[in-house]
Every structure is written in C-alpha cells, then in structure tokens.
Structure 1
Amino acid sequence: MAIPQRTIALGTLGFGTIVDERTSFEILDHFVESGGTVLDTANNYAFWLDGATGDESEEVIGRWLASRGARDRVVISTKVGARPTVPGTGLETAEGLSDKAVRTALEGSLRRLGTDRVEVYWTHIEDRSVPLAETVDTLADLVAAGKAGEVGASNHAVWRVERARALAGDRARYTHMQYRYSYLQPRFDIPLPSSAHVHVTGELLDYVSSEGDIRLWVYSPILSGGYTREDVEIPAAYDHPGTPRRLAALGAVAEELGVTKNQVALSWLLDHDPQIVPLVGVSRIAQLDEALGALAVTLSAEQRRRLDEAAL
C-alpha cells in the first residue's frame, strides 16, 4: 500500500503504556474507519516509562492487526537503533546500527507486529561507531529480501543522509526523513525537550525539496497540545520574540476559518513545500478527529503568506 499524497500519520508511541490497549484499539479502529492508513511506531516505544520494555507499541499494533485482519489496510512504519540493550538504561546502551543489530531488531519488530514486512523501516538515531556503508548495505539487503518496502532516516545530520544515499548507489536508499517540526520555530541556543530530537532546518527543507524523491515526516507538529491547552506549556526552546507574532497569526487564521489552532498548524504543514507527513499522537478519539479534520482545512494564499511572514 502506498502512502497517500496528503495524509496524517498516526503516531503510536504511547500505545500499550500511556494509552491502554482497549483505548489503543478504539483509536486504531476509528483511524482506519476515518480513512487513515499510516501507522508510525518504533522498537523502543516507550522504554523510558516505569515498567515498560519498548515492546509495547509494536505488540499492541500486532494484536490489533491480528484481531481485525487489517494488515493490508495500513502502512506500517517502525524504527531501529534506539532500543537500550541493558534494562533500566537509556540511549547510552542503544542497540545501534550494525548489520547484526539492524537484522535482529527487524526480526523482533516483525514478530511483535505479526507481519512479514514493514512498508518503511527507519534508522531511529545515528550510530557513528558503525561504518555508514555497513548500515546502508544491510538496509538495502532487507529491502531486496522484501522485509522492508522503503527505508528512512530519523534524527540524522543532513550530510549523513546524503552520504548514505550516495553509498547506496542503485540499491535501496533513504527516501524518507523524520524530524521535529511545527509552525513555531525554536531558537538553537536552548535544548529541545528531548536530547534525541533533531529539528528541521532551512538546509534540510532545501535538501528534501532539491532531491525530489524524499518524503519528509515530522513529529511534535502540535507541540503536545501546546497551541490549545492551558495545562501544556510551550517548551523553553520556543521562547523568543518571534513566537508571540506567530501565535497571534495562528489564532487569527483559526478564527477566520472557524477551526482550531491545531488544525491550522497541521494544515500549514500539509500544504508545505516540500510535502510533509505530520505524525500525530493521540490518547482520545476527540483528539484524533480534530487532527484528521485538518485534512479538510484549506488555507488561502493570503492566509498562508501571513502565517509565513509572522515571525520575519
């Protein structure tokens, strides 16, 4: 199944941990019934929570796929590289991207998901201890074997992606990139909320646009509810003079269109050049409906201009 041209992907990081299995199933059911097709997970979600191992999200999706017979109705995207090898530790013991680690991790993901292939297989974080050619060759082998449809790089330096694509030659190469991005833009002298997050830059957008065969996916597109919820604080990395102007423009356009600020922020991403796939994580059906509602929001050229120029 191909990834639709204009789509919102369902992020499943919290399934089986923050979001219980029954609710996860309800969300997945509603997502597919509403026309959604793209599910994004990883082999380490959400290991950092008390009592979690990192198996949870993939296992919940696997059980849902089996119970609904839904494998051919969805695109599955999962990741390798950031799962700790020692229980109770963090990324300092991450599995990495060696040939053995990548192959072993994919077998584990396929087992948990109850499938024989994934549509997109991502290297979750960089591993500079392993020759890049080794990782590139392994990923190409997995695509050739039919275990992965395409491959992507998440949170990698742009130059590393370019080098990897060159090393791949005529074999399968990175055609997807995944980073943090939203309407608000951060300052770069203050860390992002997670040390593993890498933000979209102008250079990255230029690279994706110039290459023509790369699909850009973005996480945290609505800042975990920061645009609309009074109980969610916008991270300190966005504390600069441009933010109030952008928030004012976002609010004005939302009021004009009769939609939420979240929907305007998502619409701004959906109508982006280069084309973007926003990843939205939800814990309630109402949140999912709000996010999917952004697909029906159309920004006028004048509204888009105002949003783009708000922080200039």
Structure 2
Amino acid sequence: MIPPARRIAAVTAVCALGAALAACGTERPAGTTRPVPARSSVSASPSASRPPVLTPGPNGLTPVFEHGPRTLGKTVAFTFDADMTADEGPRAAAGEHFDNPGLIGALRALKVPATVFMTGRWAEQYPDEARSLGADPQFEVANHSYSHYAFTPSCYGLPTIDASRMRADVERANTAFRKAGLRDALPYFRFPGGCYNDQVLRTLGGLGMTAVQWDVVSGDAFATDADAVAKQVLDGVKPGSVVIMHCTRSAAPTTETVVRTVVPELRKRGYRFVKVSQLIGESPGHR
C-alpha cells in the first residue's frame, strides 16, 4: 500500500470545510477498505471492444484499482474528475463554470491520453463537451455517479446518498451519458470524494464495474499556487501511478497550468502517458 501524498496546506483547509470537489483530500475516511482481487497472469493489451476490469473481490465485492504495475516501465495515467453535484444547477445558470475547455485543449495539444470520471449532472450541463470527449480516442470516459453525493457518511462535507439509491445513481449517470450522445463510457467508477467501505462495495457488486482510486493526489482542487501543485505531482509519480486532478474551472483554476508544467518534465524523466484502461489491462487480477 502506498502512503497518501502529503497535502498542500491551503487545499487541506478548504477540504476540511467540505468543499464540493471532495477528492482533493489525501487521507481516506476511517473504515474505508481495499478488497484484494484474485491474482492471475498478465495478459495482452486490453481490447477496445471489451475494456479490462478487475476480478471481483471476496463475496462479489466491487474490486478497487489504485495504480498499475511498478515494474513494467515508466507509465502514468492522468485522471480528471468532471464533477458537478446535483444541486449546483443554479450556480451554473448564474455563470459558474464547472467545465474546463482550456484544460482539454491543452491535453489535446500535448497529446496526453487521459481518463475522465464524469458525473451525470455534468454531462447534462455540458452535453456537447461530454459527447466530444467520448468521441475522441485520446480520452476515455467513466462514471463518477450522477449526483456526486457521498456513498459514505462524513465524506468531506458532501451530501450523502442513501444506500437504497446508490445503484440507481450510478445507472442514472450512464443514462445521462447516453442522452448526451456519449455511448462508450467504460465500466469504471470513481466514488465521490473517494469515500467507500465494504458495505458500499457489496451494494455495487454485480454491476460489473471496477472502482478506480489513485495513488497520487495533485491537490489541484481550490489551489491557487500552480507551482506547488506541480511539485506535488512530480514528487509523487512512480511507474504505474494514477494521478487525480479536476476538470472544473471554478474550483480547480490552476489545473491547465499544472498540466502544461508537469507533462514535459515527466517526459524528460522517461515517463509515457497512458489511460487507466491500459494500466488495468497490465495488472494482475484483470479479466
């Protein structure tokens, strides 16, 4: 298990106040667990038609992925949470921007593949952008819930969804993707705030999804010092790392600058950028 990356002090303070982009925290709330999937030999690269998933954990628990193999070369996956909670429509209508076209443009210009974890509410607000991301082979899109409500109590101040509605919330996000014209969302799920426990993993069992966490916290949410965020990413990346960042202008205003800083430096260090699906396909326990 990789110890969580240290936080940037300013980001920590905001997270403690229960900010909406709850995944900016580095420490998992008490009681969260990681099921260990059954191990198998590493197979060939994933098929485009059938994205790889991890084998379910004991008693059918939803498997959890945090990083790829450390010994198969210098690869790193950038992930971006495009999150908007179900009650933030009025803020968007008033002009707040929960998207970040400049960031997506930078990734395209730098030719960096990436995995976007999108909420259904975000897809409803920005259907053209959702459809564009889904149609671009440089990106892959996965489920970040519909509402961005927490699946466990005490998750960085997020509203909490009842256990009886969790599966429906995940499925509602997929419905929102299809309505936006995004038809190829991957069978991966990122918990709002990164908060989960065994009960939640059992509740989502049977959906055929792999929960995707991370081992490098960028600290970009609500940060104002792009250099500090870039340093945190560069200090944390190891072979096979999954980095969490955000695709939301209003709450992660430095992310585009951070990407433009760290991408050339990581390439100079010999790293190659891949999508999460490739790391899962290279990991023991996938199918």
TM range, normalised to the smaller chain?
Answer: 0.3 to 0.5
- TM-score scaled to structure 1, two decimals? 0.35
Q: Hey, which of these two has a bigger chunk of helix by percent?
A: 1
Greater RCO between the two (CA within 8 Å, min separation 6)? Answer: 2
Higher-Rg structure is 1
- TM-score scaled to structure 2, two decimals? 0.37
